[in-house]
Chain A
Amino acid sequence: MTMRRALSRMANPQLLALVGVLLINWILFPNFFRITWQDGRLFGSVIDVLNRGAPVAILAIGMVGVIATKGVDLSVGAVMAVAGAVAATLVVAGYPAPVAVVAALLVGLLCGLWNGFLVAVLDIQPIVATLVLMVAGRGIAQLITEGFIVTFNDPLLVFIGTGSLLGLPMATVIAIAMLVLVTLLVRKTAIGLFIEAVGVNRAAATLAGIRSRMLLMLVYGLSGLCAAVAGLIVAGDIRGADANNAGLWLELDAILAVVIGGTSLLGGRFSVPLAVVGALIIQAMNTGILVSGFPPEFNLIVKAALIFLVLIIQSPLATRVVVVKRPVREAGK
């Protein structure tokens, strides 16, 4: 029974797609799965996927809640730039690194709450409400950095971006921690159910006594916080806050990761772990393209074709054809 359940879990389309992409990578580049131990850390292409995929995975962890409420957060890329700019400018100005990190996280949270306010209280459509910060955020980041890349050598910030813990890249460790925390937050409380209820039918949710405004503030705030974490990682990685390029277009990758993870843009059912799997699928493609030696002119076409394939694999029709349905649980007892 456990065996069968574990197997049927494995058979979900996202994991199949991830395995498929990794196999393609392996065929194109036989050393893809080679992992070595070097300077106290694991080293290899698969580790690169985990490391490089972490920022988008963290964005997706925040984005999945927003999308489940029938919203979208276009501002996360810009919020990444803002958070990186805040942290870098503060350490360069001589503030202790923990202060800079906390300040960056707070700014990210505030950006998210601002989006939540526009959506929940002023009832502005999410795509428009978050577009405001998507455009303004990058400008704010540029103001903070005065237009140039603020470089730093602060050990804590660099550790967040490039350090390692237990042999794994720090970014991966942070992403795993966030995945566990957020999954517990939504599934061990009633928040996940309420998010789904609001996404499926906000009018009914309000009539059923769910405080949908507070809930929306929460999910957008969480998305902003996740964006700030991703922003810190990206800045630490290059030891600099690049206001022009940090997080550029990553909101789209995050949305794609969530969609690949099976959460509908129309709101409702969502899965945090599968959104992370979606992010890994995207990154596995990116890394695969890089190691395979295709000319760069093909990058976008190859990526588009692969994404198209993944979406087809997980379309309802394909699911019905390929995957054996799990037996429906008996009602009642």
Chain B
Amino acid sequence: MSTSRRTFLRASLAGSTLAVAMGAGLLSPRTVLAAWPQKAFATDSLEEAMKGIVGGSNATPSDKVVVEAPDIAENGAVVSITVKSSIPNAESIAVFVPENTAPLTMSYLVTAQITDFITSRIKMRKTSEVLAVVKASGKLYSGKKSVKVTLGGCGG
């Protein structure tokens, strides 16, 4: 990111009209690269979510994609998920919970420098599989793990 762009963003934040527009969600400061795929994150269909984030819904199950998660999650609001991939030239890793209101939970656009694993914590509404899809050289590979949730994590 160039410095001038950053300065521009700071300057525009000060402008009240722009600030109002941002507050309304019409314009968000692109301090981070890549467009956020709003549609993929909003859909309740696993297929649509996969198409939206990795460009297809047919992933080949692979033992090179390993999902590590607890067998039983007592608190669905915080479920630690680790994805380990040994697929070469990975471009992105997306994690889906098909039983969630919105199956797509997170996606990581990775470079060759990222190795071994990525761990994050996600919410799970109820017992579900956790599906990880790795996109590499235009192909999709998947791994999954079932997690039993005893207390759902999306309710109020």
Bound together: no
